[in-house]
Chain A
Amino acid sequence: MGAKAKRKRAADSMIPKMTPKLAVGLTIVTVIVLFAVIGPFLLPDPRGISDHLLEAPSAQHWLGTTRTGEDVLAQLATACRGSLIVGVIVGLLAVVLSSFFGIVGAYIGGLADDLFSLFSNVMLVIPGLPLVIIISSYLPYKSVWLVAVVLAITSWAGSARVLRSYTLSVRSRDYVLASRVAGEKPWRILAVEILPNLLPILASQIMQAIISAILGEAGLAFLGLGATDSLTWGTMLYYAQNGLALKQGAWWWFIPPGLCLALFGAALALINFSVDEIINPKLKAATKSELKRWKLEEKAGKAKSDKQFGTAASAPKLGGTEIMTEHAMNAAVPQYEQNPVLEVDDFCVEYRAEETVKAVNHVSLKLGRGEVLGLAGESGCGKSTLAYGINRLLKPPAVITSGRVVFNSREGYPIDVRALEGKDLRAFRWEKISMVFQGAMNSLNPVKKIKDQLGDVFVTHRPEMDRKARLDKCGELLERVGVPRDRLNAYPHELSGGMRQRVMIAMAMALDPQVMIMDEPTTALDVVVQREILREITRLKNDFGFAVIFITHDLPLLLEISDRIAVMRHGQILEMNDAMSLYTNPQNEYTAKLLSSFPSLTGDRGDFIRQGNVVSESTEVSR
């Protein structure tokens, strides 16, 4: 592949995908630009006076005439040109200024950054309009350039701040550090490593600068402060206003320039949406028809599964009784078969991206009361999707295409989780199944005290509780997870990572749920803190009897804490067995491979080879 093609592909990710919004925006911009470029050559002199005064549109004057008999269409073409020129000049000047002060300052850092951002902040508060009024009172003649420069120097500062914050984030990325380690020169790091990644945001800033420049110029011109002898949308509106066009009903005089202004602004804003989607891909939204179709598919899938397994009402119930006592259990049949708290059958989830991805593929499992089920697998194997799906937390483009989820509440009635809607669904989550999320320690709200965040659970689910009872309950919860009660008044940043994780667990336990889903609850923690949290979870589980689905990629950890382990790959459960059988006698090749990926701490080195021959390429699992 040639160097050119490579560069093209590298740039591809920076070019927005064609969407209806982008298409409409581009079309409008193209039409207006073409009109501005070609129009003035084809149309009569915009200043040419005739004796057709203030005439409505006719075959001779398509957009009518002004009070002095000038052709409005001809004026409009020249005004388009004038406005666009001002917009582009100001847009470019503003972006050059904001790039210099924003990007360069942020990249150098230290004193330069302080000074540059101080300067930007001072410029930010200088108001453009009074400045121009002052300048115009001193200068009898104002060129377009002067107006453009004034608009530029009063408009760059805001975007300098945006660019600065982006540069600060890109600058601290590892690839920039890697270039420094390689010995790259500073200017090259800035130009080759940092700048390309700022292109989308730069494009968006240019567009914004152009819009605000055109609007700003129109505002000035409308007040009669525009460039002398210029003709722009703003001056057209100014003359129309002076000529009492509105009063005389001469709509053809002021509507065309006003419309152009509005259309052009809207078109650039539409293009900007598409650029924003590159900067932040999450903004890409599914269309309404897609959402509708997915919902129907989900319903159809549910109907089919209901037929297959019977609805929840006819779900296998244990004689409609409460929890079975240990004595009543048949020792030969495992507890999770006899008295499951959660049953999942034939569960499928698909992601409807450009290609449909089967994230969870015909998964069935049973979770026993008070059992710890480990869900092991590598990134992208569908373990989190499965957990979120069980709790009905998936959002489009995720679609549950089939399956049944039955929750057997300890009060002795089954709940068809997939049939829940609205209020019932909200009540079900957290009351019956609660979750501790991935990176949970960062999911606390930094500006709310611990007691308020814990209290929120009760405000939502136990509205009848009064303030005092709530506070008591929150304190009790904290003590339960080993956090002193006086931490109720602390803010999250005043707690260590381990403490925050404990608070999250307390929150998940608040409503005495029967199942807790823990999604990598200790991955972000240190080994020592992780150990403490694991002990805490085990203790709480023994005390309160909830079942746990523990999701992680750390198989040794699961082996220590789980009763049973399910190994997932490509959306399927490859092997499910009790922890020790899985460890000592793995049935699936992949399980064996995962197990051998962790050299034992105290045993021999397993697959790890430092001396001798290299391990064959099969070590890398093909994807």
Chain B
Amino acid sequence: MTTMQMKDVVKEYTLRNGLKTSTLFAVNHVSFSLESGKTVGLVGQSGSGKSTIAKMLLGLEKPTKGAILIDGKPIGHSREERQWFNKNVQMVFQDPYASLNPYHTVEHHIARPLKIHHPDLSKEEIHKRVVDLLDRVRLSPGEEFASRLPGELSGGQRQRVAIARALAPEPSILIADEPVSALDVSIRLGVLNLIAQLQRDENLGILYITHDMATARYFSDEIMVMRKGEIVEHGPADDIILHPQHEYTKTLIGAAPDPERRLKELKRIG
């Protein structure tokens, strides 16, 4: 059971325009927590600060103010502490065409995190785990996929490799930054269902970042709506979508394509 918390986090960027400087509040007093087994959806327009939150949770950016706690403790600076943190918090990137190194095989991508976080494993054991992981993300036979290059895989297969890579260190928190928006529509649900399945198996805490309200609703337990660095609404998924309180949430939901709406309109006219 792992809990990751953001406590009153602020992230400022200083913008330089000639000699003038101005401050951009990419993230403004944000607090929430992620728990094992639960999914929190983070929705908002681009530029709202969603990705900055992901980067801070991963330790790739430091907050200007506030604290990020994991099981109540701040993230340490020593090599061991960083290592432990990297093992526990992993990420699935948006674009599987960019997140796999075209030069290396599938095996390399999954074996590296295994080697880093389990230095005592032998070569054979690592290979066995790689194949296991590939089978678990339904790239079967894993033995065959392990030796392929990213260029030989389809978008959906690549994203499965990326998911296997994220699972390799056995993390407790997974950050999924628009994990399906770069994929073809007919395979999106398959990948999301896979992540959901793995979440149940591993008791993962997931932060699901997206701009798609519909999948956020079904995939998340809670939804946070973010706008210009602030969380404007936060609550149980169905409440947010079906009974939005904040104006901005209503705008977002109103903007999402919904064929049912047109069907009703046509019926009214007809």
Tell me the complex Cα distance, A197–B150, Å: 14
Residue of A nearest to B182 (CB): A379
Is B105 located at the chain interface by the 8 A CB criterion? yes
Tell me the complex Cα distance, A620–B197, Å: 15
From 66 to 92 in chain B, residues with beta carbon under 8 angstroms from any chain A beta carbon are 82-83, 86-87, 89-91
Map CB proximity to A onto B193-233 as digits: 1 under 8 Å, 0 otherwise. 11011001000000000010111011100000000000000
Map CB proximity to B onto A563-601 as digits: 1 under 8 Å, 0 otherwise. 000000000000000011001100000100110111111
| Stretch touching chain A among B13-21, B27-35, B249-257 | B249-257
Q: Which of A182, A527, A607 contacts B45 (CB 8 A)?
A: A527
- Residues of chain B within 8 A (CB-CB) of A621 are 184, 186-187
Q: How far is the CB of A586 from chain B (nearest CB, A)?
A: 12
Q: Are B151 and A13 in contact (CB under 8 A)?
A: yes
Residue of A nearest to B94 (CB): A174
Tell me the complex Cα distance, A621–B187, Å: 7
Tell me the complex Cα distance, A175–B186, Å: 25
Q: Are B184 and A182 in contact (CB under 8 A)?
A: no
- Residues of chain A within 8 A (CB-CB) of B255 are 527-528, 530-531
Q: Are A182 and B190 in contact (CB under 8 A)?
A: no
Tell me the complex Cα distance, A607–B215, Å: 11
Q: Are B149 and A13 in contact (CB under 8 A)?
A: yes
Is B101 located at the chain interface by the 8 A CB criterion? yes
How many residue pairs link A and B with beta carbons under 8 A? The number is 181
Q: Are A598 and B214 in contact (CB under 8 A)?
A: yes
- Residues of chain A within 8 A (CB-CB) of B179 are none
- Residues of chain A within 8 A (CB-CB) of B116 are 182-184
Q: How far is the CB of B44 from chain A (nearest CB, A)?
A: 9
| Contact (A378, B217) CB under 8 Å given A174-B98, A583-B259 | no
Q: Which of A10, A580, A596, A597 contacts B149 (CB 8 A)?
A: A10
Q: Which of A178, A183, A527, A620 contacts B156 (CB 8 A)?
A: A620
Q: Are B257 and A609 in contact (CB under 8 A)?
A: no
Tell me the complex Cα distance, A614–B252, Å: 30
- Residues of chain A within 8 A (CB-CB) of B242 are 602
Is B138 located at the chain interface by the 8 A CB criterion? yes
Residue of A nearest to B188 (CB): A597
| Contact (A615, B259) CB under 8 Å given A181-B91, A601-B217 | no
Is B154 located at the chain interface by the 8 A CB criterion? yes
Q: Which of B86, B102, B190, B254 contacts A619 (CB 8 A)?
A: B190
Map CB proximity to B onto A368-379 as digits: 1 under 8 Å, 0 otherwise. 000000000011
Is B112 located at the chain interface by the 8 A CB criterion? yes
Is A610 located at the chain interface by the 8 A CB criterion? yes
Q: How far is the CB of B84 from chain A (nearest CB, A)?
A: 9
Q: Which of B90, B138, B251 contacts A181 (CB 8 A)?
A: B90
Q: Are B60 and A181 in contact (CB under 8 A)?
A: yes
| Stretch touching chain B among A55-63, A153-161, A328-336, A550-558 | A550-558
Q: How far is the CB of B85 from chain A (nearest CB, A)?
A: 8
Count chain A CB atoms within 10 A of each CB in B101, B112, B116, B217 and give the residue with the most. Answer: B101
Q: For the complex, would chain B's binding face be called helix, strand, loop or mixed by DSSP majority?
A: helix
- Residues of chain A within 8 A (CB-CB) of B60 are 177, 180-181
Number of A interface residues in the complex (CB < 8 A): 63
- Residues of chain A within 8 A (CB-CB) of B184 are 378-379, 553, 621
Q: How far is the CB of A478 from chain B (nearest CB, A)?
A: 24
Is B1 located at the chain interface by the 8 A CB criterion? no
Is A452 located at the chain interface by the 8 A CB criterion? no
Tell me the complex Cα distance, A255–B254, Å: 78
Q: Are A600 and B260 in contact (CB under 8 A)?
A: yes
Q: How far is the CB of B175 from chain A (nearest CB, A)?
A: 9
Q: Are B193 and A615 in contact (CB under 8 A)?
A: yes
Q: How far is the CB of A518 from chain B (nearest CB, A)?
A: 15
Q: Which of A177, A584, A602, A617 contacts B258 (CB 8 A)?
A: A602
Q: Are A528 and B252 in contact (CB under 8 A)?
A: yes
- Residues of chain A within 8 A (CB-CB) of B162 are 178
Q: Which of B45, B168, B197 contacts A528 (CB 8 A)?
A: B45
| Contact (A610, B147) CB under 8 Å given A182-B169, A527-B252, A599-B217 | no
User: Can you add 9 more A-B contacts, CB < 8 Å, to A596-B189, A600-B259?
Assistant: A181-B58, A181-B60, A183-B113, A197-B102, A554-B185, A608-B193, A608-B218, A610-B218, A610-B219
- Can you name 24 A-B residue pairings with CB atoms under 8 Å? A6-B105, A13-B151, A14-B103, A174-B95, A174-B98, A175-B100, A175-B101, A181-B90, A181-B91, A182-B112, A197-B103, A527-B211, A527-B252, A531-B254, A553-B184, A553-B185, A580-B262, A593-B186, A594-B185, A601-B241, A608-B219, A611-B200, A615-B190, A615-B193
B interface vs A, CB < 8 Å?
Answer: 45-46, 58, 60, 82-83, 86-87, 89-91, 93-95, 98-105, 107, 112-113, 116-117, 138, 147, 149, 151, 154-156, 162, 165, 168-169, 184-190, 192-194, 196-197, 200, 211, 213-215, 217-219, 241-242, 251-263, 266
A interface vs B, CB < 8 Å?
Answer: 1, 6, 9-10, 13-14, 173-175, 177-184, 192-193, 196-197, 378-379, 526-528, 530-531, 553-557, 559-560, 579-580, 583-584, 590, 593-594, 596-603, 605, 607-611, 614-615, 617, 619-621, 623
